[in-house]
Structure 1
Amino acid sequence: MEQTTTASVPSVYQQAALRWKQGHHVFHVVLVTMNTMLEASMDALKQRDWPRLTASLDRLTALYKASTSTMKYAADFPVTLYEELIRPSMMPPFISPGFSGELNTEHTMMLEGFQHLRSRMKEELGNREQWPTPVAKSWTRLLSAQAYSRKHHALVCQKFVKDGASLLKDFYANKKETEKDGLQ
């Protein structure tokens, strides 16, 4: 017999919602920390402090791995619970149409910060073959962790939304269709 609360919500639904929220809250903390480490990396690069830059890049690698773990944790429940509970909670009337994690400010800052660091590394140090060996090795590990994270985040998304139709993509498609039909 399945446990329920006084509100008669099955515990399996409660656990899925809790896991989803906790995983995303931890992911947010990881993003904030990544942004801090990106700034530290930029500062170390400016100062040409290779040991500090290497340490910052290694911390970013660990944070990318942590972000992958938090996303896997957040999504470790059956697809039916996502379809019945989680996805509807990210739609009107609970949230504005077109909600997406892509709208997360810290995530946007992290992506921009990483691109800025990448370009500054190339400008300051030239081709990777010219970089100090420890920095180059740390950078390679970081790129590997980043690729692994992206791959696994995509797998989590694909698990829940087979056709890849995110709420944001659906919103823009519907908006475009509405405009095309002259209904706006």
Structure 2
Amino acid sequence: MTDRAHRDGCPSEAGQIAQVDYLHGVADIPFRLGRPEDLPSSLAGLMSAARPTQKAARLLADADPSDLTELAAAADAARGVLEADYGETVADDPQESESNRHNDLAFGIVRCTGAPLPLMVDAALHALSGILDLTERIGTGLADEDWNDLLSGLATAVVWPSSANAGAPWERHTDGQPDSRPDARTRPPQLTGAARPDDALRRWVRGHHVFMVFAQCCATALRCLRSAAEQDEVDSAYAAARAATVLMKASRGALQYAGDSTNDEYVTEIRPTLMPPVAPPKMSGLHWRDHEALISALAAARDCWDTLSSVAPELVEEFRSALDTTYAAHRGVCRHFVGDSSPSLLATSQSQRSAVGVLTQFRDRRLGLMPPGRQSG
């Protein structure tokens, strides 16, 4: 699926991605995002900023997630109705590191000055179209749970901002408790064996696009959690924490999707894009501003989970579990491709730590941001 002709896009964005021409064959680029630091930090601010997205949200929420053709048509129609104003290309941003700039370049991401919330919703629809386009053609190797969580996360990024006090879309309810997955009927189409050259790279790039959307939306939900908890608005805090949990589970699905390839496919299609001369020189998987915004929001919301512990301890544990399994998924992808002892290709020449070891350390630090005494083993 391609951008519609009535979108002129950000000026000069073509020059930003000229160095990675191979991306045009694997994803619909540019993939436009705003700056995560500019997204709303309260539920009231979120719903106000999301007013222009309401029609698009309704179109997607009404689609059947088990019918990929219907879902793809709804995503396309929703993006057409939204008509996000991208504004100008962000240039000379003092809050952007060189590593982030090169990460964006490597994945065809262009930062724009338009209203950040509609930009995030547009990016979610863009990412959903990319996933469905590939999945309808060749299927997916994802487990049912990962596929369902992935779809729920994308729906949440589109629908939740304009109805922030409601449950996440496509949820089933059992005994009054919302379930973060679509209806159990939803099953991902199995791999067909009709893969084309660079399909592994397509999953890799498009999966990263999905993850950046989830990082932005989850960071926003955590900021809203903090705002509501500080004002003793328990219902609003619960709604924000519920959305954050759905998005954290979905992040696991996005990582699994990006790494859904064989070792041979990794070596021939993905690995060359992580090395010179293809990879930008300062590219680093550890310094993406959307992920950094998520980590900052996690740290800022640390004490706010205590507000929920007395009224919804199961939700606090569910978020902790989602956080844990997301890092486990990331470690699993690294282990699958490079083993337990190899450093990341994107690590500095001085670093001898294994990629899996680094991610294990990060996992322990992130779980340490949850309330004391509730850490899993």
* TM-score normalized with structure 2 length: 0.39
1:96, distance to aligned residue in structure 2 (A): 3.2
- Is 1:168 aligned with 2:342? no
1:143, distance to aligned residue in structure 2 (A): 0.6
Counterpart Cα distance in 2 of 1:85 and 1:13: 8
Task: From 154, 158, 169, give the equivalent of 2:331.
Answer: 154
Partner of 2:197: helix, strand, or coil?
helix
Aligned residues between the structures = 158
1:121, distance to aligned residue in structure 2 (A): 4.6
Counterpart Cα distance in 1 of 2:243 and 2:304: 19
Match of 1:94 in 2: 278
Could you give the per-residue CA deviations for residues 57-88 of structure 1, whole angstroms, max 9, x where no partner exists?
Answer: 11111101111111111111111111122121
Partner of 2:215: helix, strand, or coil?
helix
Which structure exhibits the higher relative contact order, with contacts defined as CA atoms closer than 8 Å and separated by 6 or more residues?
A: 1
Task: From 111, 117, 142, give the equivalent of 2:319.
Answer: 142
Counterpart Cα distance in 2 of 1:119 and 1:133: 15
- Report % sequence identity: 28
Match of 1:133 in 2: 311
Assess if the C-alpha contact under 8 Å between 1:72 and 1:156 holds in 2.
Answer: yes
1:15, distance to aligned residue in structure 2 (A): 0.8
Counterpart Cα distance in 2 of 1:99 and 1:120: 34
In proportion to residue count, which structure has more helix?
A: 1
Counterpart Cα distance in 1 of 2:290 and 2:284: 13
- Is 1:68 aligned with 2:246? no
Structure 1 residue ranges (4+ consecutive) displaced by more than 4 angstroms after TM superposition: none
Match of 1:180 in 2: none
Change in Cα spacing, 1:84 to 1:30, as seen in structure 2 (3 Å) is: same
Assess if the C-alpha contact under 8 Å between 2:216 and 2:293 holds in 1.
Answer: no
Partner of 2:225: helix, strand, or coil?
helix
Assess if the C-alpha contact under 8 Å between 1:30 and 1:66 holds in 2.
Answer: yes
Counterpart Cα distance in 2 of 1:70 and 1:60: 15
Q: How does 1:3-152 map to 2 (within 5 A)?
A: 12-97=196-281, 99-121=283-305, 125=307, 131-134=309-312, 136-152=313-329
Assess if the C-alpha contact under 8 Å between 1:13 and 1:81 holds in 2.
Answer: no
Give the aligned residue type for 1:92.
P
Q: Root-mean-square deviation (CA), in Å?
A: 2.2
Partner of 2:347: helix, strand, or coil?
helix
Match of 2:42 in 1: none
* TM-score normalized with structure 1 length: 0.77
Change in Cα spacing, 1:164 to 1:118, as seen in structure 2 (3 Å) is: farther
Assess if the C-alpha contact under 8 Å between 1:61 and 1:145 holds in 2.
Answer: yes
Q: Which ranges in structure 1 are unaligned for 5 or more consecutive residues?
A: 1-6, 175-184
1:116, distance to aligned residue in structure 2 (A): 1.6
